[in-house]
Structure 1
């Protein structure tokens, strides 16, 4: 399960300042809906798993892209819905 954390927690885990995280968001380095989500105008949560992967694979974007694809495939909205069995009469 993916962990979403606040700015202070993300700064602590990643050893990056809140200003750096904001700059990466504004520059598009961190992608909204992937690396972070906006809950309202003042509340942002960071996807800890993907941020850690991004830091680890900064020199290998293809590896990080695979992690993003795996994350997206794991979302409930991307799961196949079970087929209803119809009964024969």
Structure 2
């Protein structure tokens, strides 16, 4: 379930390696026998930090099923630039 969110974060950041992680994974709908709620905090080797949330349990009032939000500081030109290496 959460691997797509983790892969998206790694893609946007340029495929860094995790240095430290803290995670909480729970099952709220026990009848299904699958994890349905996950929150992961990741510190990457390039110094960035990510909060990755994934789960059926987390309600979305705005109706969006999946989204990615990026917060950070501007570069020398005043624009955010992806660290993605091509």
Larger radius of gyration: 1
Could you tell me the TM-score, scaled by structure 2's length? 0.26
Could you tell me the TM-score, scaled by structure 1's length? 0.25
Q: Of the two structures, which has the highest relative contact order with CA contacts closer than 8 Å and spacing of 6 or more? A: 2
Greater percentage in strand: 2
Greater percentage in helix: 1
